[in-house]
């Protein structure tokens, strides 16, 4: 059992300090942008030599442990489940939930953008100005889309030829598949032979946990730097022409969480949505500040096991899969953006084509990298499918960071709701097993909660 460590600060929980850092960074960034301007040499200097490096160091501290964490968590999770038939059942439930909730989100997004029609509120002159301003960034995204190999080969490439190369390339699908096979193989050899490897994996997980704790101590400063960099550069000037589009995306994301996911939590999981969201707030704040499902994975695992009481064998199996495949927010964003840009360029889409947009939004969201801006190259491929100018993606790039932060938060919320759903349907967890406030009284770096249990502690 990992030893709990002291608070990150006197009387203040770490997730509160992270949230405070987010607010401070946003306020300072907007103030600087409004007074000096995003292109002022002092603002550029601070972003290049102070805020930028601090934010990137924080992100890299999280990214450096993603691969060993995914490998150890999934391998131990599969080994903890024991029976390969149960592994298949749990995996089937998880993937089914991922696809169903993502399709629900994409459908909601298409309905919202079709009703509000924000693309018709942008005149051609403004659209052209935005395209010109972000043309360079857009061209690099289009080139990335051209090199994206999405389709049948995505499935083939899941079975990596070289897991070490996949680790170097941050190929999570390849690492996940290798980890699943590795964990399954551990269940097929004798317990005596498997024990040393299980002990090694548990030790690896313990080491990763300690690195997570060190990284999260730095989180309030990293978050402040990241948010300052975004707000000081862009401020509010892009929100006026794109305000309707931004509000449709954020409004639909909120509806998905507060209505769709809340109904699932209440009636299918049997837990109070208010309690659920309150217990996972550390993961949501981390997701919003980093814009990365992969970087949030360490915090999400800790939150699921500590704050929700979900067995490590389920959390360690479902959450790494979810960080790559459960993309509720991304699918919703992609569906809205395709229709929005179709409206801007006067491309009429019939009902059948909008259904195809929804399906493609779900499929490409599943294939999107869990890193900041990872969905943009795949979004470009959908635009090309429907004859919408790919360079039109430049129109939304200026506001994509805030939308990326928002959709990543919804992605992580979907991951954790999927984990609770699978644990409940497997009858290894229910709402009564969520630790009480008294049981969470031991201080810890992420929250006031007990130590992170090993995957081997899960029920077999």
Q: pLDDT tens digits, residue range 24-80? A: 988 999 899 889 988 889 999 999 999 989 988 988 888 888 889 889 988 998 888
Tell me if residue 345 falls in helix, strand or coil.
coil
Alpha helices in 345-437 (DSSP H): 351-367, 376-385, 394-397, 400-425
pLDDT tens column, 135-171? 555 565 555 555 555 566 767 878 999 999 988 887 8
DSSP designation for 2: P
Q: Where are the domains of the chain?
A: 14-457
pLDDT at res. 305? 92
- 285-331 pLDDT tens trace: 989 988 888 889 989 999 999 999 999 999 999 999 998 889 999 99
The whole-angstrom separation of Cα 1 and Cα 8 is 20
Confidence of residue 456 (pLDDT cuts 50, 70, 90): very low
Mean pLDDT of the chain: 84
Q: Which of 299, 119, 104 is nearest to 216 (CA)?
A: 299
| pTM of structure | 0.82
pLDDT single digits (tens) 433-452: 999 875 564 444 444 433 34
Q: What's the rounded Cα separation, in Å, for the pair 329 and 252?
A: 9
Q: Which of 263-277, 360-374, 398-412 bottoms out in mean pLDDT, i.e. has the lowest?
A: 360-374
- Look at 406 and 235; give whichever has higher pLDDT: 406
Name the pLDDT band for 238 (thresholds 50, 70, 90).
low
What pLDDT was estimated at residue 4? 36
| 6 CB-near residues (< 8 Å, 6+ apart) | 443
Residue 262 CA: distances (Å) to CA of 103, 249, 265: 16, 18, 5
User: Contact at 8 Å (CB) between 102 and 328?
Assistant: yes
Contact 51, 24 (CB under 8 A): no
Summarised one tens digit per residue, pLDDT across range 80-111 is 887 778 888 999 999 999 999 999 999 999 99
Inform me whether the pLDDT recorded for 6 exceeds 50: no
Q: How confident is the model at residue 209 (pLDDT cuts 50, 70, 90)?
A: confident
Task: List, for residues 371-401, the tens digit of each pLDDT value.
Answer: 666 677 778 888 888 888 887 887 888 788 8
Q: Are 90 and 314 spatial neighbours (Cβ–Cβ below 8 Å)?
A: yes
What is the gyration radius of the CA atoms in the chain, in angstroms?
22
Q: Rounded to an integer, what distance in angstroms lies between the CA atom of residue 145 and that of residue 147?
A: 5
Which contacts (CB < 8 Å, 24+ apart) does range 169-178 have? 170/63, 170/66, 170/67, 170/294, 170/369, 170/371, 172/66, 172/70, 172/294, 172/320, 172/323, 172/324, 172/369, 172/370, 173/324, 175/67, 175/70, 175/71, 176/70, 176/74, 176/320, 176/321, 176/324, 178/71
Q: Is the pLDDT of residue 284 over 50?
A: yes
Q: What CA–CA distance (Å, rounded) separates 132 from 138?
A: 10
Average pLDDT (207-212) is 86
First-to-final CA distance of the chain: 18
The mean pLDDT value for 406-427 works out to 96
What confidence score (pLDDT) does residue 144 get? 53
What kind of fold does domain 14-457 have according to CATH? 1.10.3860
Give the per-residue pLDDT at 105.
96
| Rounded distance between C-alpha atoms, residue 260 and residue 268, angstroms | 11
Q: What is the band of 370 on the pLDDT scale with cuts at 50, 70, 90?
A: low
Tally of helices (H runs) and strands (E runs) in the chain: 23, 0
| pLDDT cut 70: percent of the chain above it | 85
Indicate the SS3 state at residue 97: helix
Q: At 165, which helix (H) or strand (E)?
A: helix 163-168
């Amino acid at each position: 059992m990992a030893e709990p460590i002291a608070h990150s600060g006197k009387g203040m929980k770490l997730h509160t300090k992270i949230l405070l850092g987010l607010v401070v960074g946003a306020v300072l960034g907007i103030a600087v942008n409004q007074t000096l301007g995003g292109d002022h040499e002092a603002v550029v200097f601070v972003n290049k030599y102070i805020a930028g490096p601090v934010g990137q160091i924080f992100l890299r501290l999280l990214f450096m442990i993603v691969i060993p964490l995914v490998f150890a968590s999934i391998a131990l999770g599969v080994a903890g489940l024991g029976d390969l038939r149960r592994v298949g059942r749990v995996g089937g439930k998880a993937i089914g939930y991922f696809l169903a909730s993502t399709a629900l989100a994409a459908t909601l997004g298409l309905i919202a953008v079709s009703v509000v029609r924000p693309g018709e509120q942008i005149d051609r002159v403004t659209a052209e100005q935005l395209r010109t301003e972000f043309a360079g960034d857009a061209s690099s995204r289009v080139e990335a889309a051209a090199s994206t190999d999405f389709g049948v080969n995505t499935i083939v490439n899941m079975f990596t030829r070289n897991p070490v190369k996949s680790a170097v390339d941050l190929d999570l699908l390849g690492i996940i598949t290798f980890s699943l096979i590795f964990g399954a193989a551990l269940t097929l050899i004798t317990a005596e032979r498997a024990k040393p490897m299980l002990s090694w994996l548990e030790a690896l997980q313990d080491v990763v946990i300690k690195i997570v704790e060190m990284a999260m101590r730095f989180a309030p400063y990293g978050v402040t730097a990241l948010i300052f960099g975004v707000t000081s550069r862009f401020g509010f000037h892009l929100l006026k022409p794109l305000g309707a589009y931004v509000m449709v995306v954020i409004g639909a994301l909120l509806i998905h969480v507060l209505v769709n996911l809340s109904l699932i939590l209440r009636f299918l999981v049997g837990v109070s949505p208010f309690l659920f969201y309150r217990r996972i707030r550390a993961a949501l704040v981390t997701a919003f500040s980093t814009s990365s499902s992969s970087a949030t994975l360490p915090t999400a695992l800790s939150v699921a096991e500590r704050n929700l009481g979900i067995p490590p064998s389920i959390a360690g199996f479902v959450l790494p899969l979810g960080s790559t495949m459960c993309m509720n927010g991304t699918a919703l964003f992609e569906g809205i953006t395709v229709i929005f840009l179709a409206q801007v360029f006067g491309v009429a889409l019939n009902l059948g084509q909008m259904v195809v947009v929804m399906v493609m939004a779900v499929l490409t969201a599943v294939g999107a990298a869990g890193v900041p801006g990872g969905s943009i190259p795949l979004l470009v491929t959908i635009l090309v499918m429907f004859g919408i100018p790919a360079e039109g993606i430049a129109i939304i790039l200026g506001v994509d960071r805030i939308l990326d932060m928002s959709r990543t938060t919804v992605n992580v919320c979907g991951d954790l709701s999927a984990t609770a759903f699978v644990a409940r349907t497997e009858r290894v967890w229910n709402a009564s097993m969520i630790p009480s406030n008294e049981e969470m009284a031991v201080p810890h770096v992420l929250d006031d909660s007990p130590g992170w249990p090993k995957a081997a502690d899960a029920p077999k």
